[in-house]
Amino acid sequence: MSKAIHDLVLRENVQLSPFYHRLDFTAPSPLPECEPGQFAELLVPPGPGVFLRRPFSIHAVDYKDNTISFLIKLVGEGTRRLAGILPGTVINTVYPLGRGFTMPEKGPVLLVGGGCGIAPLLFLSARLKAGGFRTDCLLGGRTEKDIIETADFERNGAVFITTEDGSLGEKGLVTAHSLFDRPLPYTMVYACGPEAMLRAVAMLAMKASVPCEVSLENTMACGVGVCLCCVVPTTEGNQCVCTEGPVFNINRLSGWDQAARIADSCPVI
Ligand SMILES: Cc1cc2nc3c(=O)[nH]c(=O)nc-3n(C[C@H](O)[C@H](O)[C@H](O)COP(=O)(O)OP(=O)(O)OC[C@H]3O[C@@H](n4cnc5c(N)ncnc54)[C@H](O)[C@@H]3O)c2cc1C
Ligand code: FES
C-alpha cells in the first residue's frame, strides 16, 4: 500500500462539542488508498513546545471529493493548535500508516468506541455498510458532551450509547451496556478507546468466543517503526504499534487472554 506525504489544505473545521473538532482536508493530488484503522501523522503548526508530528486515525475518506477527515480531541498543546486552524491552512501529513482492521467474512458485527476511539470506527462502519454487513455501534463517553456524530454512525447501522454519568443512553461504562447481558449475536467485535476499555471489551468477546480486533493508541514519536517508543508485547515478541498495528487481534496481544481466564474463574471480578 503506497504512502503519501501531502500538504493537505483545510476545507472545514467543525467544532462538534467543547472537546472535539472534525477537520476536513482536501488533498493536492489523488488520495492514496486508505483502510479503516490506519492513521496519519500530522505536522502541527509551528510554535513553542510541540516538535513531533501527532498521530490521528483516518476518520472519513471521500475519494470523489478527494477529501480526508480527522477527529481531534483536545488534550494538549498540539491538539489545541490543530483545533484552532482556519480553512485554507496547509498541514503536512504522512499517510496512510500502519495496519487497519480486517473485514469480516459475514456479519453482524459490533463496533465499540470510547471517547476519541470512535475516530477510526466511523470510517470502518462506512466500509462495512458498503460491504453489506449489518453493523451495531456502541459509543461510550463520560458525559453526553463526549457523545458525538451519532447521526453519522446511524447512517451505517444501529447506535447504542452509554455515558458514565447517565446523561445520555444507558448509565455506566460501555462494557456494562445491556447488549452484553445476553449471548453476543456477532461474528466479530471491533474496538477503539482507552486501553482499560479495550481490555474489558476483549474479555467479554473472549468469554463469548467472538473474534475481536482492537486499535491501540500507544504514545508515538516517529510513527514509522524507527524510534521503538510504541512497542507492545505480542505472541511474536515486542512489536511496534505504528507499523504492526495499531490494529491487533486480541489473540496476538500477550497477557490479554490471561485477564479473561482469571475473570472467568473468579466471579467477583
Ligand atoms: C494510532 C493513533 C491514533 C490516534 N487517533 C486519534 C484520533 O483519531 N483522534 C484523537 O483525538 N486522538 C488520537 N490519538 C491520540 C493523539 O495522537 C494524542 O491525543 C495527541 O498526539 C496529543 O497531542 P497533544 O500535543 O495535544 O498532547 P500532548 O501535550 O502530547 O499530551 C497531552 C496529554 O495527553 C497524553 N497523550 C498524548 N498522546 C497520547 C496517546 N496516544 N494516548 C493517550 N494519551 C496521550 C499525554 O500523556 C499527556 O498527558 C491517536 C493516537 C494514536 C497512537
Ligand atoms: S512511533 Fe516510533 S517506532 Fe512506533
Q: What is the per-residue pLDDT for 256?
A: 84
Q: How does DSSP assign 122-184, residue by residue?
A: HHHHHHHHHTT--EEEEEEESSGGG---HHHHHTTSEEEEEETTSSSSEES-GGGSGGGGS--
Block residue for cell numbers 491538539: 79
Spans of the chain below 50 pLDDT: 262-269
C-alpha cell at 40: 496519519
**Domain for residue 12, yes or no?**
yes
Domain boundary among 67, 97, 127: 97
**207/231 same-domain check:** yes
Residue that is last in its domain, among 97, 117, 140: 97
Same-domain status, 122 and 92: no
Q: Are residues 232 and 174 in the same domain?
A: yes
Whether residues 261 and 171 share a domain: the answer is yes
Number of domains in the chain: 2
Q: In a 3-state reduction of DSSP, which class is residue 23?
A: strand
Cα–Cα distance for residue pair 241/220, rounded to 1 Å:
8
Take residue 256 and report the three cell numbers written for it.
490479554
Q: Which of 89, 91, 121 is nearest to 215 (CA)?
A: 121
Choose the residue to mutate in 39, 75, 148 for probing ligand 1, maximizing ligand atoms within 8 Å of C-beta. 75
pLDDT at 258: 63
Closest listed residue to residue 60, CA positions, set 139, 131, 119: 119
Q: Quick one: 87 and 47 in the same domain?
A: yes
How does strand 60-62 pair with strand 67-73?
A: antiparallel
Which one, of 145, 182, 183, 177, lies nearest residue 161 by Cα? 177
**Do 130 and 247 lie in a common domain?**
yes
Do 78 and 206 fall within a single domain? no
Q: Which amino acid is at 115?
A: G
Judge whether 141 and 115 are in contact, CB under 8 Å. yes
Q: Residues with beta carbon inside 6 Å of ligand 1? A: 39, 50, 54-57, 71-73, 75-79, 116, 119, 217-220, 246
Which mutation among 91, 217, 229 tests ligand 1's pocket best, with the greatest number of atoms within 8 A of CB? 217
Q: Relative to the CA of 56, which ligand 1 atom is closest?
A: 5
* 117 and 187 both lie in a single domain: yes
- Residue 229 CA to residue 220 CA, distance in Å, equals 6
Does one domain contain both 124 and 87? no
Helix (H) or strand (E) holding 121: helix 119-130
The whole-number pLDDT of residue 263 equals 46
**Are both 152 and 189 inside the same structural domain?**
yes
Question: In this structure, is residue 244 part of a structural domain?
Answer: yes
Q: Could you tell me the distance, in angstroms and rounded to a whole number, from the CA of residue 4 to the centre of ligand 1?
A: 22
Q: What angle do CA 115, 23, 148 make, to 5 degrees?
A: 35
The predicted pLDDT at position 267 comes to 40
56 is a domain residue: yes
Domain-embedded: residue 39: yes
What pLDDT was estimated at residue 255?
85
Beta bridge partners of 214: 191, 248
Do 253 and 144 sit in the same domain of this protein?
A: yes
The pLDDT assigned to 266 comes to 40
Range of the domain at 119: 109-265
Q: What is the pLDDT of residue 49?
A: 82
**pTM, two decimal places:** 0.94
Domain boundary among 66, 97, 128: 97
Q: Is 190 among the domain residues?
A: yes
- Strand pairing class (237-240; 231-234): antiparallel
113, 121 Cβ separation under 8 angstroms: yes
CA–CA dist 202, 251 (Å, integer):
9
Same domain, residue pair 170 and 208: yes
* C-alpha 108 to ligand 1 mean position (Å): 31
CATH number at residue 236: 3.40.50.80
Is 104 inside a domain boundary? no
82 close to 40: Cβ distance less than 8 angstroms: no
Dist. CA 253–CA 154, nearest whole Å: 31
Residue 35 sits in a domain whose CATH number is 2.40.30.10
Distance in Å from the first CA to the final CA of the chain: 43
